[in-house]
Structure 1
């Protein structure tokens, strides 16, 4: 009886920890959004009087909570994943904000609202939301009072991992604990007792014992997994079926439909705004290039885009017409005599890249993403795809005007293989951890690297 009571208390404790985790995350989000609108509202009151910020907040909060629940912004998957947690919070805020803007537009319900207050409130709410979620992920165990989720790793005939995580229990399988090949109710009852509090059971065993473990886990009422190291070369991301036969999913677009819509709206907004604001400057630059040698204003080059499809990228021409390298076989060097005097200036200030905003509006490129490379780009006299077989993976997303590699300082000529590998590693990291907030951060950081020592 005492044992049963202890087990009941442990199960209840785990459930309470999970409930506490969800409520604390929700409370943190509500406080962050409320703080953003409160500060924006008070600033507006000081200068212009009431901007109905409270009405805006009351309308936004329920939509945010509903959207966050819908996109699983409160789930086990994000408890220890900083970028995932922050990204889902920002996505929920963006979707809720878009919904309010659409409703207010069609119903004309925004009379008396201060649009400046609403915009400022959303921006500050987003900032506070990121801070709160970042802090929660870093200190979740302390805030919740323990680990609400538990993983049990069964090591059957293989050594146990030397560094298990805090919420991981290691079970060294033996005939005294559980032998799945000895079929009897007592044996299965013993195994059920071992995993009774687990949310996930991972079995590491020799290949010949995987089938019996798979059969055992199917009846265990838990997420059961069997490690298959030989699959690591294929890097599968899931399982599907074709004509009743299991298949390994080895690729999938990194962004779902919702994320693609959000990213596209961000691209159009930023590209359209910047083109409008910089139009006079761009006209002057184009005129200067033409007057310099009466040659074409734009340099058009074929590059690799999303899904490995080729597209024509636009740049302001910075080289002499006769010296332009359409294939990009030779990267520009610091004292490259192919570059015109004015071209040297626009390359050093990255103004030569500005026409790519047109590529963004056309849909060939994105504001943030892996930089597109010329077809003939080389490092140590090797084409990029001959240096690292993962090179083609970076094209699962649209190329960008700027990217994670660029803000980390990986710019300029690729003289060594490491120059390409460093950029590729950053591109793949961006691809697998995309969030709208990360795009915003990269765009802000780009301002600090526009004037870069390797921009020539």
Structure 2
């Protein structure tokens, strides 16, 4: 369609001006379009089956190719040699042609949808009978055909090759692993892509294949963030902590003196909490309670007008300033600026420990705990008097883990400034 548009533009130019100069942009648009369309999935079968998705992807690819071509022409100072009217006519004609073509292809594929579905052949021993309910085109029982995975018989290899010739996927299902291995090796040598059906892996959902020495291993779980993302998040934390240090360090020093002057005891309260991968760490806060009434395990969550809290402690908790010393935990890599808030071991809701209330509770510790988090900016703060209180917080924490981005951390930090003073902070 791009070539047809270029030829048509050339003929129109010849008819109107008497000079047949084809659109020079076409030389760059054509290869660039093919690369863009491939990367944008314009040729993927699911896209080609959908009229709107197919047209949208082809026009997006054309826009990408045209933009790149015009920028390249501008960079090499040859854009002045282009005829703007001719270029506009060529691109418009190309857009119309591609739209009509992709719309027609999608309509044709939808009418022949049964012919374009992935054809799966299940090949195995008597176990294939129990797999007939699976979405496969054909099942081949090698026992019924008296086939054995040997390479010495060209007639057998011909029959086998013909039987699986039209398959998009060949899946092997054998009770004996050694026999399955032999068939996989044989089909691989014949040039077929082969898969192994392992019902025992259904609940594990393998993610990738790796090797330990020469033995293959299946990756069945990964951390929420790649090494690159973890490094990016850590660098962001350190940068902000170091930039804020000239202001935060003197403020912490002043508040430390005030805490000690307000009531007898140390300025800081250190409590064992659950951190990354469920490892314990010592979380540091300003002491806001009387020393003789301090709850080290966190069995008794604070209440409104809690008699254990000191005069200054009320102010520190209400303004969230009691959390400032945790910047040291962030600096040491035990916490992050943004993440699920670390909980005390004895924290409970309606008399039940958090992990007894929420089955997915431990999943929230797959990332570093944070000074603030998605749950906090949504107002989930204060005591967990009802089970729904902790359920809402864990749901927000898991949502944050699954949708993490550096931009999300930035948004949470800015929105935290609006909820530092909160009615549930006591």
TM-score range, shorter chain: 0.5 to 0.7
3-state secondary structure, aligned to 1:271? helix
What pairs with 1:200-349 in structure 2 (closer than 5 Å)? 231=201, 233-234=203-204, 236-242=206-212, 246-349=216-319
What pairs with 1:17-416 in structure 2 (closer than 5 Å)? 17-19=37-39, 152=118, 154=120, 173-175=136-138, 184-191=160-167, 195=168, 231=201, 233-234=203-204, 236-242=206-212, 246-416=216-386
3-state secondary structure, aligned to 2:371? strand
- Does the CA contact (< 8 Å) of 1:158 and 1:206 recur in 2? no
- Does the CA contact (< 8 Å) of 1:180 and 1:216 recur in 2? no
Q: Deviations over 1:114-145 (max 9, x none)?
A: xxxxxxxxxxxxxxxxxxxxxxxxxxxx9xx8
Alignment counterpart, residue 444 of structure 1, candidates 406, 414, 426: 414
Q: CA deviation at 1:374?
A: 1.0
Q: CA deviation at 1:279?
A: 4.0
Q: CA deviation at 1:418?
A: 3.1
- Does the CA contact (< 8 Å) of 2:119 and 2:166 recur in 1? no
Alignment counterpart, residue 424 of structure 1, candidates 366, 369, 394: 394
Give me the whole-angstrom Cα distance separating, in 1, the residues matched to 2:371 and 2:229: 19
Runs of 4+ in 1 over 4 A off after TM superposition: 13-16, 19-25, 145-148, 150-160, 178-183, 205-230, 241-246
What residue ranges of structure 1 are gaps of 5+ in the alignment? 1-12, 32-57, 59-141, 161-171, 196-200
Give me the whole-angstrom Cα distance separating, in 1, the residues matched to 2:312 and 2:296: 20
3-state secondary structure, aligned to 1:448? coil
Distance 1:235 1:188, change over 3 A: closer
Q: CA deviation at 1:356?
A: 0.6
Give me the whole-angstrom Cα distance separating, in 1, the residues matched to 2:362 and 2:341: 13
Q: CA deviation at 1:335?
A: 2.7
Distance 1:272 1:319, change over 3 A: same
Q: CA deviation at 1:350?
A: 0.9
**Greater relative contact order structure (CA < 8 Å, 6+ sep):** 1
Q: CA deviation at 1:390?
A: 3.5
Distance 1:299 1:226, change over 3 A: same
Q: Deviations over 1:96-127 (max 9, x none)?
A: xxxxxxxxxxxxxxxxxxxxxxxxxxxxxxxx
3-state secondary structure, aligned to 1:338? coil
3-state secondary structure, aligned to 1:303? strand
Give me the whole-angstrom Cα distance separating, in 2, the residues matched to 1:15 and 1:189: 30
Q: CA deviation at 1:409?
A: 2.6
Q: CA deviation at 1:455?
A: 1.7
- Does the CA contact (< 8 Å) of 1:402 and 1:443 recur in 2? yes
Give me the whole-angstrom Cα distance separating, in 2, the residues matched to 1:353 and 1:202: 58
Match of 2:90 in 1: none
3-state secondary structure, aligned to 1:449? coil
Q: Deviations over 1:386-445 (max 9, x none)?
A: 334543333332211112222233222223333333322332333343322222122122
Q: How high is the TM-score relative to the length of structure 2? A: 0.59
- Does the CA contact (< 8 Å) of 1:368 and 1:439 recur in 2? yes
Higher deviation after alignment, 424-433 or 210-219? 210-219
Distance 1:310 1:16, change over 3 A: closer
Give me the whole-angstrom Cα distance separating, in 1, the residues matched to 2:255 and 2:117: 60
Distance 1:216 1:354, change over 3 A: farther
Higher deviation after alignment, 291-300 or 182-191? 182-191
Alignment RMSD? 4.3
Query: Rg: which structure is higher?
Result: 2
- Does the CA contact (< 8 Å) of 1:180 and 1:187 recur in 2? no
Distance 1:281 1:243, change over 3 A: closer
